Amino acid sequence: MAAPFSYHITFLLLIITRGVSAATFTFTNKCDFTVWPGILASSGSEKLDSTGFELPKGSSRVFQAPTGWSGRFWGRTGCSFDGSGRGSCSTGDCGSGELECNGAGAAPPATLAEFTLGEWGIGCVRVHRVCYGP
């Protein structure tokens, strides 16, 4: 069962600060359930420390991104992964068959947050929902 749109946005509370890198992205799960964020760097951007991970209720995880980085984040829900990290998700599944998305993007339904970092931090932000059908 797909989680309501608001849950996808709530989990993706990103606090962005300027520091040594172009930006710090902090993922905080404020949902009442575990979510599995997916990360996809755009072509030509370096991969962040992870491309997919488990984020239990109430927990946070921080990523540093360099100047010029662009890519997208999304929430995956209803996931089931075995001990070796193999599995799938009900929403936002990246189709890699693994916890890490490894260069694969989100399948619908999913809510994506796309970022492009400029010299002074964020240059562009877009949030959109990818749905089935027309």
Longest pairwise C-alpha distance within the chain: 43
Q: Which domain holds residue 47?
A: 5-130
Give the model confidence (pLDDT) of 28-37 as tens digits.
999 999 999 9
Report the alpha-carbon distance of residue 10 to residue 5 in Å, rounded: 9
Hey, how many other C-beta atoms are within 10 angstroms of the C-beta on 111?
Answer: 23
Rg over CA atoms, the chain:
14
Report the alpha-carbon distance of residue 94 to residue 85 in Å, rounded: 13
With bands split at pLDDT 50, 70 and 90, how would you rate the model's confidence at 121? low
DSSP string, 67-117: TT-EEEEE--BS-EE-TTSBEE-SBS--SSSBSS-TT--PPSSEEEEEEEE
Query: Is the confidence at residue 14, as pLDDT, over 80?
Result: no
CATH number at residue 25: 2.60.110.10
- Number of domains forming the structure of the chain: 1
Q: Please report the pLDDT score of residue 133 as a whole number.
A: 55
Residue type, 40: L
Query: Is the confidence at residue 124, as pLDDT, over 70?
Result: no
**Per the confidence metrics, is the pTM higher than 0.85?**
no
Q: Please report the pLDDT score of residue 28 as a whole number.
A: 95
Is residue 93 within 8 A of residue 107, CB to CB? The reply is yes
Query: Is the confidence at residue 55, as pLDDT, over 80?
Result: yes
Report the alpha-carbon distance of residue 94 to residue 105 in Å, rounded: 5
Residue type, 85: G
